[in-house]
Structure 1
Amino acid sequence: MTARETITTEQFDEMFDNGEDVSAYVDWSKARRPNQEARRVNVDFPAWMVRDLDKEAGRLGVTRQSLIKMWIAEKLG
């Protein structure tokens, strides 16, 4: 099958289930992640907390923002 062919949902599912690359059949420009839309939130932290966040983020090899998001997700999940 070529990327220009139209395939059925069943064919797509079978290809996916078989571990085949189905990316040619996906229009990534229209992809959405439900309930994952980003919204900006501003939070003020004391300087000592930012220092400790940066230290822990560095230890884990992630950004400060990623660390904060991971910790909040753990508490909410």
Structure 2
Amino acid sequence: MKARETITAEQLDEMFDNGEDISAYVDWSKARRPNEELRRVNVDFPAWVVEGLDREARHLGVTRQSLVKMWIAERLR
């Protein structure tokens, strides 16, 4: 979607602060989250650990990978 008009950063801030939809003014294809660069890590677990992870992931309705990420992030905080 293209922006209807050009606006200033102050106008954009005000719209955002007021809860208005600013998506027409944002190029989401260039959006980045700082410190969110992904790096692949391989970890080997015994079968009983994987089975437990799968049980808990099903219970929470998430994937095994999401569960592991959540738990590690919680522990690191």
Same fold (TM over 0.5): yes
Partner amino acid, structure 1, of 2:23? S
Superposed, 1:1-77 pairs within 5 Å as 3-77=3-77
* 1:4, distance to aligned residue in structure 2 (A): 3.8
Consecutive unaligned residues in structure 1, runs of 5 or more: none
% same residue = 80
TM value normalised by structure 2: 0.93
Q: Distance in 2 between matches of 1:9 and 1:20?
A: 14
Determine which structure has greater relative contact order: mean sequence separation of CA pairs < 8 Å that are 6+ residues apart, divided by chain length: 2
Deviation at 1:74, TM superposition (A): 0.5
Distance 1:5 1:37 in 2: 33
* Alpha-carbon RMSD: 1.1
